[in-house]
Chain A
Amino acid sequence: MILFVLVFNSCRSPFVNLPTYNNVHIDPYGAMITIRYKDNVNKSHTSVGELISVENDSIYVLTKEKSSYNNKYQESYKIITVNQKKASSYKVVFAHSEPNGVFLASGLLTLAHGFFILTSIPINVVIGALVMGEEKYLYSFTHRQVSVDDLFKFCRFPSGIPPNIDLKNLRLRPVKK
């Protein structure tokens, strides 16, 4: 059961700060992007964050970093600027599906499966993890499907970063608890 709960919990999207699919049309934030790119010394990086803007051959991504100071964890936000030509791939997720209560609750029914729990738990864990893993990317696209020229549509500032903005003040969408 512990394994079961862990696996299902682990399926919670890392992009928790996304709207559900039925709210994406009234959402003021940008989509979440996972982008692979090379820096000036050709070292590869992968960053995950909110798509802020695409302009002047650069992609701006707002990321959250965790650091420890005096044994206390602190979160800080950072804008990463990726040269479009140095971006090797990306995946953009703009919404997530609503949690399916019936599907999750049915997993608990395995407790009533008696001997057959030996069959039921692996089936539930494997299928559940695969399904929920897939659900994270139901509302997404990759660099193969949408070109970098169209990425601006999913930015917080599709018309470019306004000049008056202090980028240090930008925050990711608060996670609903």
Chain B
Amino acid sequence: MKTTYYLFLILSLLVFLNSCSTSSNIGFKNHYYTENELMYAQKKDTSLFLKAHDYYGNVFIFHKSWVIDTTERIVKGKGKLYTPERDLLSEGQLFVHIDSVALFETNMPVKKVDYLILPKTLLVMYNVAMAGFCLSVPKACFGSCPTFYTSETQNVFDTRAECFSNAISPSMEYEDIDDLFEKQSGCRNFSLTMKNEALETHMVNYLKLHALPVHKNEKVLHATDNKYYAIHREILSKNAKTQTENITESLRQRDETEWTSLADDKKLVTKEEIILTFPAETLANKKSGLKLTYRQTLLTTYMLYHAISYMGNEYSDILSSLERKKLNGANVYSKFSEVLGGIEVYVAQQSGDEIVWEHKGEFHETGPIAKNTQLCNFGNLPQNLENLVVKLVFTKGLWRFDEASLTEIRDEVKPVILEPEKVYKNGLEDLVGLNALHTDQNHLISLPGDEFILQYKLPCENENYQLFLAGKGYYLEYMRQHWLRDKNLWKLKKMFDNPAKWLNKETEVYKQYECQMEQDFYQSRIDQSVKKLLYSAN
């Protein structure tokens, strides 16, 4: 963000600084009324071009080789003769009587003014470098999964949800629940926009809205145990630190400031920790949990696209083979998932003089675009607790953290599950799509560029509802022409057989791209006012 902002600022400044400057040097032109003056000027500079304006409005334009013949009182040389209307009258060897000339005008070629060369060069360099980067690492630049927007937000960086990011084949289909961060009054219609902004076919089994009744000063969170809980108080951490830095400020609230670390230099599967300390006196003997807002980095996207590129032109064969043999693709994915893992949550327990870390749960949601806010339920906290110390353990460079707070849990809440009542595809009502979403055997099919609007009717029983999206389906990633040359079935086998080993071997290559990927991804979180532009990458 910062680098792009500064680049933008510098370029704008360079242009604006020059905006008042013009080429006021008019010394390339000189005018003479007599041949003597002209001869004197020619002696000083023989490379002048000459225009002879006669009394009738014609103009003789002589190129460099013109001469003044004082005996015959003519000027002669190669050139062009134009009428007063500036029609070309004659071309070639010309002469003009000096006595018929009203004014001689000498000209030098104008020097190129290029004070804009710097901003132009910088812009060209930026465009070429970015295109080069994206073409060499397309995995870093192009999106995936169906993305969802509410009515006010329509671009990829305001995505409210991205569904089933892991499901790259039919057997990997699963349900994914995302918080839409929407509180709506009951009895109203609610519209959701689903877009396919990538080179993929999305097969959507269902898209159900989970409407959770919510009271004033209350929020509902989806928890790692797949239940919903109402929470009503949040306590910020006194201290949040990793082994090397204090990140308390970065985790204070859900905003644009995320914290992430870079992957390990030697092994991609290296773990790291965040230690969070919460003042917990007021929560003693009460139900509580950790609220965490997070999303993934581009590491999993990088990995997935690598797997596909290794399959090369056998990509579809291998996928269908996996399906036919019922060798569930999810098994392959789960191997990676095990190696990379989620965000494990531990709470410190005092056992005599020792501290024992009790495992409380694990956050895990795939996808680098939409942020997830979830709850890890700790149950009742012990009495006489001054501080609660929480440890998060995760793979270095795999996650981005935005917000962490301790919350008091009120009750478990049951959702009202709503099916869409209307579906519009690219502006037209889509009854086939609606039917597909209502029946388990069929899928709504979304092709690149498709945009669906789903309309739901919120129940009237409660005044307010908090909305979550439960989507089930899978997607088929398209093979790109330039990935075909990366085909390497041997590496694919190695990758599937021993993901940990493959990841560690890939460390050096990934590290080359990581900084640029992370930096550019973050930079692209630009000001809302300019984000209205279409996301038309594909």
Contacts and interface: CB of A to CB of B under 8 A. Distances in A.
Interface string B198-210: 0000000000000
A120 B127 contact: yes
Given A146-B24, A153-B29, A171-B85, A131 B524 contact: no
Nearest to B120: A103
A169 interface: yes
Contact of B521 (A110, A115, A122): A115
Contacts of B102: 159-160, 162
**Contact-residue size bin, chain A (C-beta under 8 Å from the other chain):** 35 or more
A146 B7 CA distance: 36
Given A29-B86, A141-B24, A146-B24, A22 B110 contact: yes
Interface in B92-132: 102-103, 105, 107-113, 115-116, 119-120, 123-124, 126-128, 130-131
B57 A123 contact: no
B86 A109 contact: no
B110 A116 contact: no
Contacts of B16: 130
Interface string A64-101: 00000000000000000000000000010001010010
Nearest to A128: B123
B512 interface: no
Most buried by A among B16, B533, B536: B533
Interface in B1-38: 4, 7-8, 11-12, 15-16, 18-19, 22-24, 26, 28-29, 31
A116 B524 contact: yes
Interface residues on B, range: 35 or more
B124 A138 contact: no
B4 A119 contact: yes
Given A109-B127, A113-B131, A134 B533 contact: no
Contacts of B31: 152-153, 158
A159 B53 contact: yes
Contact of B123 (A106, A113, A160): A106
Interface string A1-39: 101000000000000000001101110110000000000
A58 interface: no
B520 interface: yes
13 contacts: A24-B109, A25-B109, A109-B131, A118-B155, A127-B123, A139-B23, A153-B29, A153-B105, A154-B26, A156-B86, A158-B31, A160-B102, A165-B57
Interface of B: 4, 7-8, 11-12, 15-16, 18-19, 22-24, 26, 28-29, 31, 49, 51, 53, 55-57, 59, 61, 63, 80, 82, 84-86, 102-103, 105, 107-113, 115-116, 119-120, 123-124, 126-128, 130-131, 134-135, 138, 140-143, 155-157, 520-521, 523-524, 526, 530-531, 533, 535-537
